[in-house]
Amino acid sequence: MIRTPFKFLSMQMNQNPKPNILLTIGLLALFMKACCGDEAQIAGMLTPYEQGDGWESSDYESGIAFYNALAEKHSNVTVHVMDKTDSGFPLSLVLVSCGDPVSLDNILSDSRTVLLINNAIHPGESDGVDASMGFARDLVENVDRYKEHLTEVIVAIIPFYNIGGALNRNSTTRANQNGPREYGFRGNGRNYDLNRDFIKCDSRNAKAFAKIFHLLDPDFFIDTHVSNGADYQHVMTTSQSQKDKLGMSLGKYMHEVFEPQLFEAMKANGYPTIPYVNSGGEPPDNGFAQFLETPRYSTGYTGLFQTIGYMTETHMLKPYPERVRATRVFLDEALKLLAVQGKRIQRLRQEDRDRFCRQERVPIAWEVDRNQATRLEFHGFEAKMIPSKVTGGKRLSYDRDLPYVRNIPYLNNYVVSESISLPAGYMIPREWHRVIELMELNAVKMHVMKDSRTLAAEVYRIESVESRSSPYEGHFFHDQVEVSKQRKHITVRPGDVIIPMQQDHARYVVETLEPKAMDSLFRWNSFDTILQRKEYFSPYIFESTAEKLLEDDRALKKEFETRRADDAAFRADRRKQLEFLYQRSDLYEKEHRRYPVARILELPD
């Protein structure tokens, strides 16, 4: 193992991102031998990263060129040019298999497990970009080591997801990161953080990813990142599918079987791995809660389709060569486990898909259970508050001369905070074409009505909304949503879309179309036009109408008089009184705050 020299390099590099070149080259040789076995095995096909001193990351052009050259050399490596991204460049997909090349047309019928690796969603976090290239090369050139695994697993790699950000290279925007010398920028060409875009799909990147995802239907997903937060000894942490939110058999299996084996393998390779240190800028000593990956994030999105997801989160202060090495080890160990466990994962995925549709109630929101903590072996550094030479106040400092290993509290249990009864299906009116397009993009089974029908349904009214006061990823996200629900018969017209719940992608449908779901399309402003009134009244004309309303409706008159008697402010405001009567009359527009997507209680024949 090479932990001792890298540990030494870590001590040297944390204060100086310009390494001792001779030392680094020597360590890189050890790194390559440890990763790839015999150095002669890779001499003819070095990655752009391996050609340097360990502190250069591959740029977009050289990375794509490498994969194309690898595909030219090996028939079982194929590079597929997919849909365009916001940058104007197409998303590339690399497939690596054993035997004949894999066709995208028939991959869904292939019995092998599918592993999808996504790189450079945040291009400044480039560890996975460089680790994946060496991984792909060795899969086909180090046959003795990998042939057995590739007979069971198809490896799919997105080399650069955020191409616009990858092209925007610099050396400064990752202020807390220890290498590489140059890297990409977090935002894409339209300044979206693509790891907040999987549900709302504002970017071409997200649309292209969804197409790839459903062509592959991967069983396991890895998204490569670099952490930014506390200082500690761990090189690798992971932000994975939350077990309770993933739920059912798959969540239990991931937590109790797969993850312990994966983390034990990482530890055996010199990288004790723990979940992402979600301490919010505070010292982790007193524990922390597991990060809840809602569907705006990559692993939250994949979980909607019963795909286990892991974000690798290498520690930003560790030297770049060591972070690349840790990411590479993670890819290797995940592949080994999937070769053995893949068929079980496939079976559990389908069982959970079938079981989801049979439930009477399904969860749409979760919250951490703060009364139930487990313990986590954490390798940290002693933290203290010291005087700040800049602000004159106190600053947090970690003392690397005082490492420790402690069992700290870890809140990784989540409970359901909101659930809904499962309808027979949903109806989307034909006018809401962008929502229908998102359903199509995500391979949702739908039926377009050819004639009119009257169906029993439940319809929501949006009673109140609290939105953010400043833009978040191009939206004024609705943090608080309250609804009321009414059962009624609705007319479904030709062109309206019916989505049945008896399908594999039912969970995606529920968590996008239920307005109170944590990352619903309603929260992301897809239906905001219903929140604005379009028709009004002139008080001097409506006064006569209001008189007649009170004459004709005794119940309304009683409610109105009670409100006037009990509420002095209401009694003093003529406009409010007329508005009160207007909103309770047949004159008031029915579309205002009426959520257009209906919950169908019985599907049409």
Q: Is residue 436 part of a domain?
A: yes
Domain shared by 438 and 289, yes or no: no
Q: Which residue's structure tokens are 């299996």?
A: 253
Q: What is the pLDDT of residue 559?
A: 96
User: 256 near 341, Cβ under 8 Å?
Assistant: no
- Per DSSP bridges, beta strands 113-118 and 90-96 are unpaired
Mean pLDDT of 94-120: 95
408 is a domain residue: no
Task: Calculate the average pLDDT of the chain.
Answer: 93
The yes-or-no verdict on residue 1 having pLDDT over 80 is: no
Structural domain boundaries, residue 568: 539-583
CB atoms near residue 3 (< 10 Å): 15
- Do the domain assignments include residue 13? yes
Distance, CA of 242 to CA of 317 (rounded, Å): 26
Q: Is residue 319 part of a domain?
A: yes
Residues 23, 151: one domain? yes
Provide the pLDDT for residue 403.
Answer: 98
Give domain status of residue 374, yes or no.
no
Q: Which residues pair with 404 in a beta bridge?
A: 380
From 361, 384, 410, the end of a domain falls on 361
481 in the same domain as 567: no
How many CA atoms, within 13 angstroms, populate the side-chain half-sphere of residue 510?
Answer: 27
The whole-number pLDDT of residue 44 equals 58
- Give pTM, 2 decimals: 0.92
Q: Give the whole-angstrom CA distance, residue 140 versus residue 96.
A: 8
Dmax (CA) of the chain: 96
Residue 168 lies in a domain: yes
Is there a single domain that holds both residue 292 and residue 351? Answer: yes
CA 72 to mean position of chain CA atoms: 33
528 and 559 together in one domain:
no
Segment 86-112 shows an average pLDDT of 95
If you ran DSSP here, which 8-state letter would residue 445 be given?
A: -
Q: What is the CATH number of the domain that holds 87?
A: 3.40.630.10
The pLDDT tens digits of the residues spanning 303-355 come to 999 999 999 999 999 999 999 999 999 999 999 999 999 999 999 999 999 99
What pLDDT does residue 4 have?
A: 33
Q: Could you count the other beta carbons within 10 Å of the beta carbon of residue 527?
A: 20
Say whether 126 sits in a helix, a strand or coil: coil
Q: Give the residue-averaged pLDDT of 268-274.
A: 98
Among 312, 344, 361, which residue terminates a domain? 361
* Residue at 461 is within a domain: yes
Q: What is the pLDDT of residue 29?
A: 44
Angle formed at CA 324 by CA 320 and CA 326, multiple of 5 degrees: 115
The C-alpha angle with vertex 192 and arms to 531 and 319, in degrees rounded to 5, equals 145
As a whole number of angstroms, the distance between CA 240 and CA 234 comes to: 16
Q: How confident is the model at residue 99 (pLDDT cuts 50, 70, 90)?
A: confident
Q: Residue 138: which of 269, 271, 349, 328 has the closest Cα?
A: 328
Residue 517 shares a structural domain with residue 548: no
User: Which tokens in the block code for residue 317?
Assistant: 């202060």
Q: Are residues 529 and 551 in the same domain?
A: no
62 and 83 share one domain: yes
Shared-domain flag, residues 578 and 500: no
Domain count, the chain: 3
* Residue 73 located in a structural domain: yes
Percent helix, strand, coil in the chain, to 5, is: 40, 25, 40
Helix (H) or strand (E) holding 214: helix 204-216
| Residue matched to tokens 């050890």 | 30
pLDDT in tens, 133-146: 999 999 999 999 99
pLDDT in tens, 374-392: 999 999 999 999 999 999 9
Q: Are residues 354 and 455 in the same domain?
A: no
Q: Where are the alpha helices (DSSP H) in 88-224?
A: 127-141, 143-150, 163-167, 204-216
Rounded CA-CA distance 503/66 in Å is 40
335 and 430 both lie in a single domain: no
Reported as a single tens digit per residue, the pLDDT across 560-599 is: 999 999 999 999 999 999 999 999 999 999 999 999 999 9
Q: Are residues 110 and 211 in the same domain?
A: yes
Contacts of 264 (CB under 8 A, 6+ apart): none
- C-alpha 475/C-alpha 432 separation (Å) is 18
Three-state secondary structure readout of 335-378 = HHHHHHHHHHHHHHHHHHHHHHHHCCEEEEEEEECCCCCEEEEE
Q: Which long-range contacts (CB under 8 A, 24 or more apart) does 557-560 make?
A: 559/584
